[in-house]
Amino acid sequence: MTLRRILLAILTLGLVGTGTELLLLDHMEEFTQWAPLLLIAVCLLAIVWYLLTGVAASLRLIQVLMLASIVAGFAGVYFHYQGSVEFKLESNRSLAGWPLFWAAMRSKAPPPLAPGVMVQLGLVGLAFCYRHPALSREAIQ
């Protein structure tokens, strides 16, 4: 039981921290930049629902949202990488192939692997839900 609470605390702190960072970075220019903020907000609402009720439906929603977070993380890595490639090509049109790849991967704006935190949070959330007693009661009813 204690490990499950620790996982939920890590998940909640990670979501709040990531959301705060995205807001401070003004990560809101396009819809694709709004997506992680909206997903984080819905995840936090689902966690509040779970904390208030403990019903299996809230856990099922958290599971779906964690899968969405994993997908969003991989999509974010793709979008950040594409943005880095565009930025690198603006400053040096001669880059191509592996040199372009490595230049984009080492870029600080946008950091290509930063969205990977959504993948990590999604996995923590799925670990929290794994074999949760409320889900076992759901199967019995």
Contact 61/46 with Cβ under 8 angstroms? yes
- The residues spanned by each domain of the chain are 2-140
According to DSSP, residue 108 is labeled S
Whether this prediction's pTM lies above 0.85 is answered by: yes
Residues 32 and 70: their CA atoms lie apart, in Å, by 15
Angle, CA of 4, 9 and 15, to the nearest 5°: 125
Q: What is the pLDDT of residue 1?
A: 65
Contact 8/47 with Cβ under 8 angstroms? yes
Q: What is the pLDDT of residue 138?
A: 65
- The answer for residues whose C-beta is within 8 angstroms of residue 13's C-beta and 6 or more apart is none
The parts of the chain modelled with pLDDT lower than 50 are none
Residues 79 and 118: their CA atoms lie apart, in Å, by 14
Contact 137/56 with Cβ under 8 angstroms? yes
Other beta carbons within 10 Å of 87: 15
Q: What is the pLDDT of residue 8?
A: 98
Contact 102/85 with Cβ under 8 angstroms? no
